Structure 1
Amino acid sequence: MITGPTNEATAAPASAVPLLFHNGLLIDGRGGEPVRDGAVLVEDGLVRWAGPGAERPELPAGTREMDVRGDAILPGFIDCHVHMAAPGGALDHAQLGAMPRSLRTFLSAPRMRQTLFAGVTTARDLGGADAGHRKAVDDGLLVGPRLLVAIAMLSPTGGHGDFRAGTDDGVTDPTMSRLADGVDDCRRAVRDLLRKGADCIKVAATGGVWSPTDQPDDDGFLEDEIRTITEIAAGHRGKRVAAHAQGRGGILNAVRGGVASVEHGYEIDDEAIDLMLERGTFLVPTLTTANTDPDPLKAASWAYAKKKHWQAVARRHIPHAIERGVRVAMGTDCGIAEHGTNLRELAYLVESGMTPMGAILAGTSEAAELLGLAHEIGTLEPGKRADLVIARGNPLTDIASLGKPENVLLVAKDGVPYKDTDGLAA
C-alpha cells in the first residue's frame, strides 16, 4: 500500500514506489502558462520531473501511473497565518487560557488534519502551536501540514497580546502571547521564544480586534523595539519576523523595524506601500478572516463593533496595495476564521484585484519565498519536495472552486498521498 491514511489520524509511511500523475492541467507555481496534458513524476519524496506528458522521461521500474482525468495538478499550498490552538470562531481568550494545555493540543489535531485535507501542505502558526506540534507532524504522530511555529506573539502591555480585561491583574494566556516592554525586555522575550524552538517571531505592532483594552489603530511595539527583535531573530540562522499590524502607524513602525511581513495591513496607505516596495516586505492580508462576520451571540459587543469596522477598512485599502504591486503571500487567520477553509483566501485575493494565477502564486511560490523555503517547496520542479494537490476542474477559470474542500481530490506531502477522495493512488 503506497498511500497515506485518508481516514485515520496516523501518519503515512514514505512511499517507496515512484508515482506519475499524468493527463492533468499542470500549474507548477512558476507563473507560466498552464501545461495541458501535464505530468509530474515523484520518486523518494521529491519531484523528479514535471512537464508535458509527451515529453516525459523513461519511467523508473515499478512506477505507478495515475490518470488525473484532466483535473488540475498544483503545488501544495502554503498558509502563512494560522492558529491551530484556536477554535475557528469568536475567540474567548479567558476560556482558552483556562483550558489545560493537553486538551488544547488534542483539540488542535483534527484542525491540523482539516487544514492538510483542504490542500495546505505547509503552514506557519503565528501563536498557539509550539515545537511539540511541529515535531508530532514531522515524526508521524499527527496528520497535518508541515509546520513553522512562532509559539506565541510578543506584545507590549496593553497591546494586542494582553487579553486581561480592564484593571484585572491576572496573567495573560502564555499559549497565545507573551508580554514585553522596552528594548531590554524585548531582547529577553525573543531569546526565550527562540530557545523554545520558534521558527519565526510574531510581534504586535498595533492593537487588535480581540484584545479588550486597545484598538487596531493603536501603536503596539515601537520601531526601536521591533528593530531589536528583528535583529536578534536574524542572528539565529536568519529567522524572520511577522508583524500583526492593522493601523497605519503600526504598519510603518513594523516595516521600518525590518519585519519580513505585515499581517493584515488593513489601513495600509501609499506611504507604507512605497516603503514595502522599496524593502520587499510582504503583505499577508488574511482576507478570509476579514470576510468572516463575527457571531453577535458569541463575540463580546466591543469585539463585534471593532471587527465590523475593520472589515470595512480592509476592503477599502487592500485592493490598492495589490494594484500597486506589493508582494502578497497567502494567509488566512484560520483559527479565528473556520479551520479547513483556507483556500477561500484565493478567491478573496482575486476579488481584491489579483489575477487567478497571481492568487495561486501567493499561495505557493510567493508564500515559500516569505518563509525562506523556496528552495524546498512552492513549485513543482525537479529536486523540490513532492507536495502537490489534485483539484477538480480549472482554478484559473473558477478560482473559488479551490475554496471548497470537496474539490480538493488528492493531497500529497513529500510524495505521500494523505487525502485521495477518488482513489487515484489506490
Structure 2
Amino acid sequence: MNKICLTGLALLVSLGVHAQKTYIHAGRLIDVKAKKVLTEQTILVEGDKIISVSSGYSSPAEGDQIVDLKNSTVMPGLMDMHVHIESQTSPTRYVDGFRDNEADVAFKALPYAQITLMSGFTTVRDMGGSGVNIALRNAINNGLVVGPRIYTAGKSIAPTGGHADPTNGVKRELMGDPGPDQGVINGPYDARKAVRQAVKYGSDVIKVTATGGVLSVARDGSAPQFQQDELEAVVETARDFGIHVAAHAHGDEGMKRAVKAGIHSIEHGTLMTEETMDMMVKSGTWLVPTVTAGMSAAEYAKIPGYYPPVVRDKAMQIGAQIQQTFAKAYKKGVKIAFGTDAGVFPHGENYREFVYMTEVGMPNLEAIQSATLNAAILMGIEDKLGTLEAGKIADIIAVNGNPDQDILAMKEVIFVMKDGKVFKQ
C-alpha cells in the first residue's frame, strides 16, 4: 500500500501536478506585532496555513490562484473576546425565553454566526448561553454551517439570584431551585461541581458573574455576587483542566475579589477604581472592555418599553460610564483585549468598538492589535493565530481605505479568509 502511494505521488510530481496555492497580493498589510503598515506584500497560503509573507508581488505557478488586494489593507482575521452568539437584542427578548425551544435558538443563531464572520471576525469567545453555543461551535468546526471559530463558555456560572441565574424575574412556581448543572452555585463545593459539569458539557472557558449585571431582571447591577472561597474554587478547578476563567463584573468590589482569586480576564469593568487597575497591572489580569455594549444599552434604555423598568434604570446608570473607565484602564497600563458583548447590540456591528476605543486615546493600530495579537495571547493561541506569519493558520481579512488613519474603514470588510478558505471576496 505504501509503495503504491509513493509511486502515485512520484507520478503526480513528474507530471507537474501540485497542491494549489493562493497568492494574496496586499497593497497594504498591517504588521500587528510591530504596529506598522507594510506595502506591496505577498501572502502565500497553502491548505489552511500561511507559507510565507514576502515583499513585492510574487508570481504564481500554473494552477495557483491570485487574490488581488493591491488597493486594500490586509490584516489578520479579527477576534472578538466577548459575544453572545445565540441571541440578539430585541424588545421581546425577555418573553422570547419562554417561547423559544433549543431548536428555535439554534436556527436564530445561524445568521448571527454568519454575519459575524462576514464582518471580519474569524474567531470569537462566546461568553454564555444555553448550550446551543457548544453545538454551534461543533457544527462550524465540522463544516456544517458558516461562522467564526468559537471558543465558548457554554452556560455562565452565578450564585442563586445572580446575574446568570436563568430563573430571575419569573414567578415562583417556575423558579425552582437550579443548581450546578444549570450553572447556579452556593459555596465552593457547588463551584467545583459547576466547573466540572461545564467542562463535561464541552465548555472551552469558564465564565462567572462576579457582580450583578445590567440586562438581567435583578435589582442590583454592581454588587459582588461571590464569596472569596467560591471564586477561588472556580479558578482552582478550571486551572486543573487547563482552561481560563473570565469574570463578568461591573462593580469594583467584585472585581477585586476576582483578581485576588486569580481570574484571567475581567469583562466590562465599568465601575473599576484605580486601585483595582493597579491590582490588574500587577497580576497581569486582562480587561475585555465591551464599550459598545454599555453605550448601546444606555441608548436602548431611552426607548419606551424596550427594557423592563429594573433593567432600564441600570442601563441608564451604568452603561455610559464604561468608555471613560476603559480610557483610564488603558492609560494605567492594564492589558486590553478586544471584546464587544455583541448580542447586546446587533451582530455585525462589532467594528464600533474600534471607534469607541480610539475616541478616548488608543491609537488605531493598537486597537487593531487588541483584536488580533492581544486576543490570541489572552486565549493562549498566539502560536496559531493573531498575526500574519509563516506557519500560522490562514485567517486573513481586508478592508478598503487606511484604518491606521481612519478607523471607520474597519466597518467595510471586503475579503474574509478563514482556515485558508475564502468566505467573502
Q: With the length of structure 2 as denominator, give the TM-score of the two structures.
A: 0.89
Is 1:62 the counterpart of 2:63? The answer is yes
Give 1:359's aligned residue: 367
Alignment match of 1:273 (pick from 274, 277, 286): 277
SS at match of 1:130: helix
Distance 1:254 1:111 in 2: 31
> What percentage of residue pairs aligned between the two structures are identical?
35
Give me the whole-angstrom Cα distance separating, in 2, the residues matched to 1:89 and 1:365. 33
How many correspondences in the alignment? 399
Aligned to 1:157: 160
Which of these residues, 167, 190, 195, is aligned with residue 190 of structure 1? 195
Separation in structure 2 between the aligned mates of residue 107 and residue 92 of structure 1, nearest angstrom: 13
Return closer, same or farther for 1:98/1:16 CA change in 2, 3 Å cut-off. Answer: farther
2:350 to 342, 363, 377: 342
Mapped to 1, the partners of 2:146 and 2:310 lie a distance apart of 37
1:316: how far off? 3.0
Q: Describe how 1:107-256 pairs up with structure 2 within 5 A.
A: 107-128=108-129, 129-162=132-165, 163-165=167-169, 168-171=172-175, 178-236=183-241, 238-256=242-260
Distance 2:73 2:175 in 1: 49
Instruction: Give 1:392's aligned residue.
Output: 400
For 2:30 and 2:326, how far apart are their aligned partners in 1? 26
Alpha-carbon contact 1:31-1:361 (below 8 Å) kept: no
Q: Residues 28 and 381 of structure 1 are in contact (CA less than 8 Å); yes or no, is this contact kept in structure 2?
A: no
* Superposed displacement of residue 340, structure 1: 1.0
Residue of structure 2 in register with 1:371 after alignment = 379
Residues 293-332 of structure 1: matches in 2 within 5 Å? 293-294=299-300, 295-332=303-340
C-alpha distance in 1, partners of 2:266/2:420? Answer: 32
1:30 pairs with 2:33: yes
Residues 74-112 of structure 1 deviation map (CA, whole Å, 9 limit, x = unaligned): 100001111111123457345225410011001100110
SS of the equivalent of 1:47 reads strand
Structure-2 change in CA distance of 1:148 and 1:23 (3 Å): closer
Larger-Rg structure: 2
Distance 2:19 2:319 in 1: 48
> Deviation of residue 16 (structure 1)?
5.4
| Offset, 1:416 | 0.6
Alpha-carbon distance between aligned partners in 1 of 2:61 and 2:209, rounded to the nearest angstrom: 51
Call closer, same or farther: CA 1:304–1:365 in 2, change over 3 Å. Answer: same
What's the C-alpha RMSD, in Å, of the aligned pairs?
A: 2.1
Do the aligned partners of 1:161 and 1:177 also contact (CA within 8 Å) in 2? no
Query: Secondary structure in 1 aligned to 2:160?
Result: coil
| TM-score, normalised relative to structure 1 | 0.89
Asked whether the 8 Å contact 1:89–1:338 carries over to 2, the reply is no
Shift of 1:33: 2.0
Q: State the alpha-carbon separation in 2 of the partners of residues 296 and 36 from structure 1.
A: 50
**Residue of structure 2 in register with 1:12 after alignment:** none
Q: Is the 8 A contact 1:38 1:50 kept in 2?
A: yes
Structure 2 gaps, min length 5: 1-17
Q: Is the 8 A contact 1:28 1:73 kept in 2?
A: no
- Which structure 1 residue ranges, 5 or more long, are not aligned? 1-14, 421-426
Distance 2:368 2:152 in 1: 23
CA contact (8 A) 1:158 1:214 kept: no
Offset from partner CA, 1:250-293 (integer Å, 9 cap, x none): 11111111111100001111111111111111100101111212
Q: Distance in 1 between matches of 2:366 and 2:173?
A: 47
